[in-house]
A and B are shown apart, each in its own frame.
Chain A
Amino acid sequence: MFTPHTEEDKKVMLQKIGAADVRELLQQIPHDLLYPQLHLPEALTEQALTRHLKELAAKNKPLLNFIGAGCEEHFIPAAVNALSGRGEFLTAYTPYQAEASQGTLQTIYEFQSCICSLFDMDVCSASHYDGATAMAEAAAACLRVNSRTKILYSAGLHPHYKEVLKTYLKYVPGLKLEEVPLCNGTVDMAALQKKLTPEVSCFVVAGPNFLGQLEPLEDISASVHQAGALLVAVAKPLALPLLHTPGQYGADFAVAEGQPLGNAMSFGGPGLGIFTCKKELVRQVPGRIVGMAKDKNGKRSFVLTLQAREQHIRRERAASNICSNQALCALNAVIYMTLLGPEGLREVAELNLEKAHRLAELLQADGHKLKFDGYFFNEFVLELNVPAKQVIKKLAKKGISAGYDLGEVNKELKNCLLVCVTETKTEADLHAYVQAMRGF
């Protein structure tokens, strides 16, 4: 229960501080910033507000969605929200008296176990804000492990992830960040080899990458480790049942955006940061880890473990001072994974793979061109004769959200459209897309 300060509390505190009132306490803040004129309309009644919001909602025109680019539309079974929406889960925020919340801790423990099994990794944290922050935390962890002074990252990382990486590491003294270019849509191996000098702490690579292409992660892993550096892999959880897992190709840290696992797109957030690593790196994991223990009666119990690396104990020497966990999103993910099970997840992965390839084939048969000839999972790049922006606009009028305009991140790719096809699309949807694309 939230108990606000009473007027009496405030009076006592102000008296102690020596301020007459709150205004005097805050007098250092310029007045126009402190009490700005907000020019808000008159408050509405609940009835009037409900009607107003319904009118606004009616303006939305749901489009058949083919945009991925980091946030994907997947089917969410009704049981996911029915369970995670229960008051016991939904109203409890981060468990400050953690061990008193055995149910919450157990769901986090199960989440960690499911992810470890999906990624083939030893350790998984309780979760992070989103995939980008989990990746930046992994890169920072590499610096703590080997004290080297350069981080390499693939040009194929999501552009937002690159920004987050740069922001996180901007003020690390003496650290250099360097981009490894792509060649035909995947990491340029010759360039990577050349850049893997002894000062390189780690290489951060996404597979599949932002352009949907699968990367030669075995070869990349071998090269990186030969140079004595660490590998941070950004994986796509729903692709893992079909691909080699981070554990199989030997990633030291594997991170991911967990939104596709049972979480809605919700205009781009909240995300779910998945963070995993090899066992020997467990003390570098930022944030929480839930462990299984026994209580004094010998009964199974769950605890927050390895806390000595956390900020409430180590203060400024903590592994990270900017991490939380996304308990509710992680809960959705663990319910989703448990409902589907290993076979179900594999079937979803196969549907994504098949449908994306089916659309690519239909489009090619209709005279369209793919930008790259490499392997892909559920996203591919279409190269058009006109700017992608135009196509997106025209298809929107036909009720289709055509994809992501790659010109947004790279002018050279302005005629390129990043198309994502998930299990949510039917054969009829794919034909509707091809039909709408005629004439471009």
Chain B
Amino acid sequence: MHTAENSKYVKTHEWAYLEDGIVTVGISEYAQQEIGDIVFVDLPKIGTQVTAGKNCCVIESVKSASEIYAPVSGEVVEVNEAVNADPALVNRAAHGDGWLFKIKIANPAEYDSLMDLNTYKNTLDK
């Protein structure tokens, strides 16, 4: 199961967790705090091809709309329906049940190049 500690990160504040060729994606605890009360998540459609660093999802809070960028390239194979019904789940459990979607990774080496939690945390201090 993905946790803040065992996930990898990108500088746009998404986390990624690889298991059996499938990367689960969510936003970091820091990002959910910055975004505020989330009221809607516009999840990508299953089957969509996403590219690392390109936006593929939108999170709306009461005051803003934030683009979510794919941390790795591949095909969207699953989205978190629970988030559709209860968008605030992302606020409550950003690293757990509030995950957003799963990508079948095209090139597993891409995952290795992502940041670990400590490196990501250091980028937040700057």
Chain A positions within 8 Å of B, measured between CB atoms, are 147, 283, 308-309, 313-314, 317
Contacts and interface: CB of A to CB of B under 8 A. Distances in A.
Interface in B54-100: 58, 60-61, 64-65, 67
Contact of A313 (B39, B40, B42, B65): B65
A314 B58 CA distance: 10
Contacts of B58: 317
A412 to B, nearest CB: 44
A314 B65 contact: yes
Contacts of B40: 283, 308
B22 to A, nearest CB: 24
**Nearest 4 pairs of A and B residues by beta carbon:** A308-B60, A308-B65, A314-B65, A313-B65
B65 A283 contact: no
Contact of B64 (A147, A283, A313): A313
A314 B64 CA distance: 8
Q: Is the interface of B mostly helix, strand, loop or mixed?
A: strand
B56 to A, nearest CB: 13
A283 B67 CA distance: 16
B54 to A, nearest CB: 13
Contacts of A147: 45
Interface of B: 39-40, 42, 45, 58, 60-61, 64-65, 67
Q: Which of B61, B65, B67 has the most CB of A within 10 A?
A: B65
Nearest to A282: B40
17 contacts: A147-B45, A283-B40, A283-B42, A308-B39, A308-B40, A308-B60, A308-B61, A308-B64, A308-B65, A309-B60, A309-B65, A313-B64, A313-B65, A314-B65, A317-B58, A317-B65, A317-B67
Nearest to B67: A317
A23 to B, nearest CB: 42
A309 B39 CA distance: 12
Contacts of B60: 308-309
Contacts of B42: 283
A69 to B, nearest CB: 40
Given A308-B60, A308-B65, 15 more contacts: A147-B45, A283-B40, A283-B42, A308-B39, A308-B40, A308-B61, A308-B64, A309-B60, A309-B65, A313-B64, A313-B65, A314-B65, A317-B58, A317-B65, A317-B67
A317 B67 CA distance: 10
Nearest to B39: A308
A234 to B, nearest CB: 28
Contacts of A314: 65
Contacts of A309: 60, 65
A147, A308, A314, A317: residue with the most chain B Cβ atoms closer than 10 Å: A308
B99 to A, nearest CB: 21
Contacts of B61: 308
A90 B116 CA distance: 59
Contacts of B45: 147
Nearest to A309: B65
Contacts of A308: 39-40, 60-61, 64-65
Nearest to A146: B45
A168 B37 CA distance: 35
B49 to A, nearest CB: 13
A319 B65 CA distance: 12
B93 to A, nearest CB: 22
Nearest to B45: A147
Contacts of A317: 58, 65, 67
Contacts of A283: 40, 42
A314 B45 CA distance: 20
Contacts of B67: 317
Contacts of B39: 308
B37 to A, nearest CB: 12
A311 to B, nearest CB: 11
Nearest to A310: B65
B67 to A, nearest CB: 8
A314 B67 CA distance: 10
B21 to A, nearest CB: 26
B91 to A, nearest CB: 16
